Structure 1
Amino acid sequence: MGEAYDRMQGELQWLGQQLGREAPGFDPLSAHPDLAGRVTSGDITRDVALELAQHRHTGQLQQSHTQAQQDRQQQDVQYQQGIASVQQLGAQLRASDAQFDQKLALLTPSIELIQRTLPPSQWQTEIHRAYLALPATAIAAPAAAAPVARNAPNPIRANSAAPVAPQITPENAFDLGVQAAKARGQ
């Protein structure tokens, strides 16, 4: 019960700080030395000073909330502008490149990475740069034929016919990813 009491004291102190209210272990006037000085000099009562401190705190909370709301709205606008610029780029490229759809299939993982890691204002430029880096004749390979059923490998004997997967390194990861996408017909 002693631990619970100590935790509750900590919670009350934290809540008092968040609300700007007097609580065990927290004096709101500690953040307002001007009000504390006026109480000490007898200009105002402690209750009046606490009410003024509460009012100031409420104003700060409202200002923070308004700023956060404005930030979210600005992010939404930037996101919509980023999407619109990428769509415009897609329309331009589709109109000028007969292989656009095939190239887009190869480029989709890069587009997703760009949109996850960069701000919307950079999406169009980076996607266009990645598109231009594709070979001029980049065409996705047709879907691979279904593999022929083989006898299940014998667990006692090593299957010498099984291909060994290449070691993935930072230098060859992109090429292996493109080969795997081509093998899947993407």
Structure 2
Amino acid sequence: MDEIETTDGAVIETGATDTGTDTTSASDAPVDSDAAALAAFDAGVAELTTAPASDEGSAPVTTAADVAAAAAAAKTDDATAHAPPAAGGAPLAVDHAKKDGDAAKPAEPAKDPAKGEAQPDPETDAAVTELGLKGKAETRFREMASTIKTQAQELEPLRAAAERGEQWEKMVLETRATPEQFGQSLGYLAYINSGDPGKMGQAFDFLLGELQALGKNIGREVPGLVDPVADHQDLAQAVQFGEMTRAAALELAQRRVAEQRMRETQSATEQKSRQQAEHDKGMQDVAALSERLKATDPAFGEKLKVLAPVLDSIRQSVPPSQWVAKIEDVYQRIQVAAPVAAAPPAPAARPPVGSMPLRATGTTTPMQRTLKGANEMDAFEMGLQSIGR
């Protein structure tokens, strides 16, 4: 008799089990050690307990041994395929890849947009499905897609700021103001809006100076500051002697100033056109010089490396009409090592006599008769003479 201790601590005596008879069927599927242990445990429980006969219509009791044996026989990559029913009748999912003790992962909660959580992206989902991405590749692809979309959203305000900057720059350039004038104008605006009486007084003085300069440039009278008639002696004398009214003298002075400004503007435009034409002509001449030197001087590339750093200083210090002469003068004084000429190809070696087999014709040729009895040196000489003919 064997003694078995139950889970409640009671010891129960059982009859000896006959181990001499092999009751295992040849067709039974082998089970692993865990399944075998569970089967032994259920066998012991079945012998110790007497289960009452079940009523008709009740479901048969499925033991742990049955579950283990079915799981061992139906191992598959699909955790839910061919899973034996559990004791309660529910399908039993067997995950053979899952280690013991691993807790089941809870379902991922739905994203809450109110909390700033990322929402599903149908476009990214479609791309993942189309490309067949899985695992780490899918994770990396989703991260990249999210980063690109985030950066695109961040670029929008930067693009708008860049457009505003371009508009501002265009507006400033259209004023044709010098950097000094632009800075003074900004300072003037800052002073008049400061609310400080001292700074506002400086802005007033600045404005009076600008008004005086502008009055002279256009021939407008500013009492106490600008008198256009005083700048023209003939007009001032005519007004003094009563030969012309002051109003007529002011109008004539203003006309003279306008004509003078027109002549100055026209002269500046013509001068700018001449400078541009000279610049274009100088660049064309330099290009022609470059082509000529490249075609005639084999060391052009090496000399150009030495000449390139001084080209800008030549353009800035010498008028365009003198660029070619100055550049060519500097170029001719540059000394570089002459390029090594490539060695001429070696003449093709003549094949040795031994590699020129004599054609067998069934008869002895004069060459074959001559070679008979000749030593190697004589044969070599005869071969050279025959080839040289």
Q: Is the TM-score greater than 0.5?
A: yes
Matched-pair contact (CA < 8 Å) for 2:212–2:226: yes
> Partner of 2:210 in structure 1?
11
Poorly superposed stretches of 4+, deviation over 4 Å: none
In 1, the alpha carbon distance for the partners of 2:310 and 2:237 equals 61
Alpha carbons 1:114, 1:123 under 8 Å: kept: yes
Per-residue deviation, residues 18-41 of structure 1 (Å, max 9, x unmatched): 211111411001111111111122
Aligned residues: 139
Task: Please state if 1:22 is matched with 2:221.
Answer: yes
Q: In structure 2, what residue type is equivalent to 1:123?
A: W
Query: Does structure 1 residue 64 correspond to structure 2 residue 264?
Result: yes
The answer to which structure has the higher helix fraction is 1
For 2:234, which of 15, 34, 37 is the aligned residue?
A: 34
Distance 2:249 2:321 in 1: 48
Of 66-75 and 100-109, more deviation after overlay is shown by 100-109
Matches within 5 A, 1:1-186: 1-24=200-223, 25-137=225-337
The sequence identity of aligned pairs, in percent, is 39
Mapped partners of 1:2, 1:121: distance in 2: 52
Q: What CA distance in whole angstroms lies between the structure 2 residues aligned with 1:126 and 1:21?
A: 50
Whole-angstrom CA distance in 2 between matches of 1:79 and 1:4? 43
C-alpha deviations, 1:129-185, integer Å up to 9, x for none? 11111114377xxxxxxxxxxxxxxxxxxxxxxxxxxxxxxxxxxxxxxxxxxxxxx
Distance between the aligned counterparts of 1:74 and 1:138, measured in 2? 42
Q: Distance in 1 between matches of 2:294 and 2:331?
A: 12
Report what 2:351 is aligned to. none
1:70-126 Cα deviation digits (max 9, x unpaired): 111111111111111111111110110122122212210111211121111111011
How far did 1:43 drift?
Answer: 2.0
Matched AA of 2:256: R
Whether contact under 8 Å (1:86, 1:124) holds in the other structure is: yes
Alpha-carbon RMSD across the aligned residues, in angstroms, is 1.7
Deviation of 1:2 after TM superposition, in Å, equals 4.3
CA 1:138/1:79 → structure 2, altered by over 3 Å: closer, same or farther?
A: farther
Post-superposition Cα deviations, 1:9-64, rounded to whole Å, max 9, x if no partner, equal: 22221111121111141100111111111112222211111110000000100001
Q: What TM-score comes out, normalization by structure 1 length? A: 0.69
Indicate conservation of the 8 Å contact 1:110/1:130, yes or no. Answer: no
**5+ residue gaps, structure 2:** 1-199, 340-389
- Measured in 2, the distance between the counterparts of 1:90 and 1:26 equals 58
User: Cα distance 1:103–1:10, how it changes in 2: closer, same or farther (>3 A)?
Assistant: same
CA distance in 2, matches of 1:7, 1:71: 33
TM-score by length of 2: 0.34
SS at match of 2:332: helix
Paired position in structure 1 for 2:125: none
Task: Provide structure 1 residue ranges, at least 5 long, that are not aligned to the other structure.
Answer: 140-186
Give the 3-state SS of the residue equivalent to 2:244 in structure 1.
coil
Q: Partner amino acid for 1:132? A: Q
Larger radius of gyration: 2
- 1:8, distance to aligned residue in structure 2 (A): 2.7
